[in-house]
Amino acid sequence: MKITDIETFIVGTPDGAPGGRYFLFVKLTTDGGVTGWGEAYGASFGPKVMAAAIEDVAARHLAGHDPHNVEAFFRRCYSSGFTQRPDLSMMGCYSALEMACWDIIGKEAGKPVHALIGGRVHEALRSYTYLYPATGSIYPDETSGRTVYNDPDLAAENALHWVEQGFTAVKFDPAGPYTIYDPHQPLLTDIERSAAMMKAVRAAVGTRADILFGTHGQFTPSGAARMAKAIEPYDPLWFEEPVPPDMPEAMAEFARKTSIPVATGERLTTKYEFARLLALGAAQIVQPDLGRSGGILEGKKIAAIAEVHHSLVAPHCYCGPVAAAANIQLAASCPNFLILEAIKDWGGFHADLLKVPLTLENGYTVIPETPGLGIEIDEAVARANPYDGPHLHLGMAEKPVQS
């Protein structure tokens, strides 16, 4: 069996829909006509550049090879151009192609991927969602500026909505702006608002749900510690990415200052970066995003390193349904799995893109038993929603925070 064809899809998301401005899919085809789907969580370059990079990586390192040989494919990509070090953009390309290979491997074997990487150890996967509004845009109301991230009453109301839908955990990030100049000390107003938001959500959900406190690496270790002290009374399950991801030593410094478990990993790639993080005691919960961290087998290795350190795995997902499907396959096979990031209830555009949508039952994502990743992209929908804009998948504010 050999890979003979590759096609990339840049799929635009509807205005206001969660998951980023677009999804970047790849479709591989073998000489036997078997297809596999992958997705890149690559945000450093524009989508056309990333699509071209995926095609280049496939042509150099995958075309004509057997998709079963994932380890050799990893080494060719990891060492490409005399690098042999973690490279976010290369690993975004590799990750998409690798999960597409696993989709093919599973289909050829007639087995779901989780059955091929250790077997299923969970009946279903406990899941959480951000406090996305049940309907409408995630962006501020033009008149009032109120959102579920700055208004305690809206946050509490929204959290209760999702808990009543069956979720046992919800996440939000009320801690203020994150910029290209971070880390910074949190403003007192940011600390006050965060504590008020946590208090309101805890009062609304009681002990029915965990609260996940999300930040985006914007604070110094001491600044994150000040924020943590204010929210500790409301017993969050984790404090996510308290400091930037480039210095795990700084994250370890913060971890020693708080009783709140530290979660991080969406901006890390390969087992090497996660191993360093864990060896320093910088995180108790790792959040690999399989569209960036190295795909499914590398995700399994990251989970194994975390297991050695008695740390837990909570796969990150802020992209489309293919990477989500890969997360599900990995999580199903991990004994140290904690919780899965869902985007609402997997409905909306995520469901539209799939021939058979992902499903949630009482706050748990159902694990597909069909071969491969367990999903198939509806190509008609993907082709009908191209993205041709200049923007990146995600971005950061470009002005520093002023005290």
CATH number at residue 263: 3.20.20.120
Q: Which two tokens stand for residue 309?
A: 């350190």
Q: Is residue 382 part of a domain?
A: no
Residues 6+ apart with CB under 8 A from 391: 21, 46
Q: How many Cβ atoms sit within 10 Å of the Cβ of residue 276?
A: 15
What pLDDT is stored for residue 148 in this prediction?
A: 87
Q: Are 50 and 145 in the same domain? A: no
The CATH number assigned to the domain holding 59 equals 3.30.390.10
If asked whether residues 47 and 104 sit together in one domain, one would say: yes
Same domain, 130 and 269: yes
- CB 347 within 8 Å of CB 87: no
Residues 308 and 179 in one domain: yes
Same-domain status, 239 and 293: yes
The label of the residue with tokens 């038993």 reads 369
Q: What is the DSSP string of 17-79?
A: -SS-SEEEEEEEEETTS-EEEEEE---SS-HHHHHHHHHHHHHHHTTTS-TT-HHHHHHHHHT
Alpha carbon distances (Å) from 36 to 25, 27, 106, 126, 316: 10, 6, 9, 26, 22
Nearest-angstrom CA–CA distance, 10 and 165: 32
Please check whether residue 76 lies inside any domain of the structure: yes
pLDDT value of position 142: 46
**What residue type is assigned to position 109 of the chain?**
A
In tens, the pLDDT along 39-65 reads 999 878 999 999 999 999 999 999 999
According to the model, what pLDDT value does residue 101 have?
A: 98
3-state secondary structure of 93: helix
Confidence of residue 137 (pLDDT cuts 50, 70, 90): very low
Which tens digits make up the pLDDT trace of 144-183? 678 888 999 999 999 999 999 999 999 999 999 999 999 9
**What is the count of structural domains for the chain?**
2
Contact 38, 50 (CB under 8 A): no
Q: Model pTM greater than 0.85? A: yes
Domain, as residue range, for 90: 3-111
Task: Let me know: does 103 contact 37? Beta carbons within 8 Å.
Answer: yes
